């Protein structure tokens, strides 16, 4: 580790914190229907969209209607994307003459992008046409991100309202998020990326001749527009197979920094939206502090592990950090920080090969996802995932002092706790259940490129990434098979919607309750004690659930490496 490396981490954190309040204020005004600087231009467009769709923007929905609208919308989006992929050979904007996507891969990809996961069992430049990338994937990048933010806002309303039967309108929240938040930011972001050297063109792939006289095809396309929303919306699906390690997606150190900032920007700002809408900004800062503690711990461990290098190589006298699988232009600090950022959020973009990280360096991205992607998390998904853990933490606090738990003046009762546990437990069911299945079936064992604990980690990482709606790949796993396409796709759908629906149920239940005044026995939820309790509950739940599987993968791999280093140093 170096001082310059930690300065990069500090600069990243400072920029994110500086964006929290202005973005939080702007989004609060958007979702409360207040005027914004963009309203004179966008408000007529918004009203026109409502008239075109036959939507009454003043009509709000019960949580069941909100959930039903969301599910129908996503079912239609899934069908549209699946159809585009299956028929892309017949559709325009296909200069490379890409063929139709296979049925199982089309199912996996449609499930992936509709759920904001963006897991890719294909190489973008060698599989998809420009139309599939734009109309299929980029379109879903916007709508899946907007859905996550809309659902977070609906849950915030549950805490903020009293004796109410509604949590907002899904159609209005979706429209406003896309029109006022995502589109304007992505337009500016796309122009920045083009300035940095990211292509944005509909021209065919370029043909070049190398110095040796060999012919080479250089893939191009409308890259910048997809990269902007893949980062800002924590989608993560790359235009190219190498994702953010590709020089056409992430060409410079500045683009690398801004891409990391954009992954965290909206998710961190939503904590401020929460504080503003419940009438106490300190509540939002407390949640962000809990996220920050977990994030900085992960950065410290990953950076230290990668900076220390491979223990077996160190024992042979090959000192230095672990640069295997990393881009030299980003180095160890930029790669380690990016790995933690992208898995702390449900982004999944990668600028280095996680499979080539040290055992401990690869452990942290895995743990980040297994905790439920609540360390900032995906846009919206991170906040409602963290609020689910808040419900459990408040319940635990109530048990310890022997009184009915309360949060923001709302009693946390059996219904809310049951829904919270349902949302929390569906993830390990998918992650561990499918991992167990893949490690005993021939179709599953044919996937990993490595044997032993590292091969086990490749399988565990894949199903963890899918169910957590992250989408990053550990690498080394051949996932484009019917077994992995179908199981990973199913895991993505469960990981998204079996968390969303209980979260909306909590929102509806809390919105209907009366707000109680604080008393002498009310547990304060804006201070260090609450932050410590929340972090402790998250780590205990995650540790009890996943430690056995981690012990079979990265932990035993690290211990074996340390033992090998000792053996070599002793002259064995």
Q: What is the pLDDT of residues 137-148, one digit of tens each?
A: 999 999 999 999
In what helix (H) or strand (E) does residue 211 lie, and over which residues does it extend? none
> What is the Cα–Cα distance from 556 to 407, expressed in whole angstroms?
41
Strand, helix or coil at 227?
helix
Residue 460 falls in which region: left (phi positive, over 0), alpha (psi -120 to 50) or beta: alpha
Output the DSSP codes for 130-165. Answer: HHIIIIIIIHHHHHHHHHHHHHHHHHHHHHH-SS-S
> What is the Cα–Cα distance from 347 to 339, expressed in whole angstroms?
10
In what helix (H) or strand (E) does residue 410 lie, and over which residues does it extend? strand 410-411
Determine the pLDDT at residue 403.
74
Cα separation values, 43 from 29, 37, 46, 287, 509, Å: 13, 11, 5, 32, 32
Determine the pLDDT at residue 562.
56
Determine the pLDDT at residue 516.
84
Sorting pLDDT into bands at 50, 70 and 90, what band is 479? Answer: confident
* Residue in the block written with tokens 């295997």: 324
pTM for this entry: 0.93
Sorting pLDDT into bands at 50, 70 and 90, what band is 475? Answer: confident
In this predicted structure, the answer to whether residue 566 has a pLDDT above a threshold of 50 is no
User: What are all long-range contacts of 223-227, with beta carbons under 8 Å and residues at least 24 apart?
Assistant: 223/198, 223/199, 223/248, 223/249, 224/190, 224/193, 224/194, 224/198, 224/199, 224/200, 225/134, 225/138, 225/186, 225/190, 225/200, 226/133, 226/134, 226/137, 226/138, 226/141, 227/190, 227/193, 227/198, 227/259
Sorting pLDDT into bands at 50, 70 and 90, what band is 564? Answer: very low
Q: What is the DSSP letter of 250?
A: S
Strand, helix or coil at 472?
coil
In this predicted structure, the answer to whether residue 192 has a pLDDT above a threshold of 80 is yes
> What is the Cα–Cα distance from 85 to 258, expressed in whole angstroms?
31
- Please state the rounded mean pLDDT for residues 384-410: 87
Q: What is the DSSP letter of 15?
A: H
Q: Which of 297-301, 308-312, 351-355, 426-430 has the lowest mean pLDDT?
A: 308-312
Gyration radius of the chain's alpha carbons: 23
Determine the pLDDT at residue 4.
86
In this predicted structure, the answer to whether residue 101 has a pLDDT above a threshold of 80 is yes
In this predicted structure, the answer to whether residue 504 has a pLDDT above a threshold of 90 is yes
Residue 210 backbone dihedrals phi, psi, to 5 degrees: -75, 170
C-alpha 353: how far from its chain's center? 18
> Hey, what are 246's tokens?
């590709």
C-alpha 201: how far from its chain's center? 28
Sorting pLDDT into bands at 50, 70 and 90, what band is 567? Answer: very low
> What is the Cα–Cα distance from 383 to 5, expressed in whole angstroms?
29
In what helix (H) or strand (E) does residue 411 lie, and over which residues does it extend? strand 410-411
- Please state the rounded mean pLDDT for residues 497-509: 94
> What is the Cα–Cα distance from 452 to 458, expressed in whole angstroms?
10
Strand, helix or coil at 37?
coil
In what helix (H) or strand (E) does residue 206 lie, and over which residues does it extend? strand 206-209
H helical segments located in 468-527: 482-511
In what helix (H) or strand (E) does residue 278 lie, and over which residues does it extend? none
- Contact between 361 and 307 under an 8 Å Cβ cutoff? The reply is no
């Amino acid at each position: 580790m170096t001082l310059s490396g930690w300065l990069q981490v500090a600069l990243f954190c400072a920029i994110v914190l500086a964006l929290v309040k202005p973005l939080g204020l702007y989004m609060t005004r958007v979702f409360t229907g207040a005027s914004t600087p963009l309203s004179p231009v966008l408000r007529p467009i918004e009203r026109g969209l409502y008239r075109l769709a036959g939507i009454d923007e003043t009509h709000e929905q019960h949580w069941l209607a909100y959930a039903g609208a969301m599910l129908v919308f996503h079912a239609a989006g899934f069908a549209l994307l699946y159809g585009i992929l299956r028929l892309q050979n017949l559709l325009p904007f296909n200069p490379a003459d890409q063929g139709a996507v296979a049925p199982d891969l089309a199912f996996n990809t449609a499930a992936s992008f509709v759920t904001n996961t963006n897991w890719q069992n294909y190489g973008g430049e060698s599989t998809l046409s420009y139309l599939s990338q734009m109309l299929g994937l980029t379109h879903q990048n916007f709508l899946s991100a907007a859905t996550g933010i809309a659902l977070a806002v609906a849950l915030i309303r549950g805490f903020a309202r009293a004796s109410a039967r509604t949590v907002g309108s899904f159609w209005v929240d979706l429209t406003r998020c896309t029109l006022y938040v995502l589109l304007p930011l992505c337009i500016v972001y796309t122009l920045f990326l083009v300035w940095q050297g990211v292509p944005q063109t509909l021209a065919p792939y370029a043909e070049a001749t190398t110095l040796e006289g060999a012919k080479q095809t250089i893939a191009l396309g409308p890259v910048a527009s997809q990269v902007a929303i893949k980062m800002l919306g924590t989608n993560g699906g790359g235009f190219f197979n190498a994702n953010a390690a590709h020089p056409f997606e992430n060409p410079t150190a500045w683009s690398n920094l801004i891409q990391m900032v954009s992954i965290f920007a909206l998710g961190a700002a939503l904590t401020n939206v929460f504080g503003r809408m419940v009438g106490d900004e300190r509540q939002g800062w407390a949640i962000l502090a809990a996220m920050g503690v977990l994030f900085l711990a992960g950065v410290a461990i990953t950076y230290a592990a990668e900076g220390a290098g491979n223990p077996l190589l160190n024992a042979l006298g090959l000192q230095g950090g672990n640069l295997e699988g990393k881009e030299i232009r980003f180095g160890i600090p930029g790669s380690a920080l990016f790995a933690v950022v992208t898995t702390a959020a449900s982004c999944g973009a990668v600028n280095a090969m996680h499979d080539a990280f040290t055992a401990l360096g690869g452990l942290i991205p895995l743990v980040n996802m297994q905790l439920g992607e609540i360390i900032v998390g995906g846009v919206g998904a991170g906040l409602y995932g963290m609020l689910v853990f808040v419900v459990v933490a408040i319940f635990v606090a109530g048990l310890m002092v022997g009184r009915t738990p309360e949060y923001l003046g709302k009693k946390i009762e059996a219904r809310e706790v049951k829904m919270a546990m349902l949302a929390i437990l569906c993830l390990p069911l998918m992650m561990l259940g499918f991992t167990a299945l893949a490690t005993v079936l021939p179709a599953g064992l044919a996937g990993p490129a490595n044997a032993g604990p590292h091969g086990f980690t490749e399988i565990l990482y894949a199903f963890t990434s899918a169910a957590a709606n992250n989408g990053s790949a550990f690498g080394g796993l051949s996932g484009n098979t019917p077994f992995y396409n179908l199981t990973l796709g199913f895991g993505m759908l469960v990981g998204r919607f079996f968390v969303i629906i209980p979260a909306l149920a909590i929102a509806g239940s809390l919105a209907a309750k009366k707000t109680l005044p604080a008393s002498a026995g009310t547990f304060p939820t804006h201070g260090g004690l609450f932050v410590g309790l929340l972090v402790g509950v998250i780590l205990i739940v995650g540790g009890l659930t996943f430690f056995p599987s981690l012990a079979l993968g990265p932990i035993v791999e690290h211990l074996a490496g340390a033992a090998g280093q000792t053996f070599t140093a002793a002259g064995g």
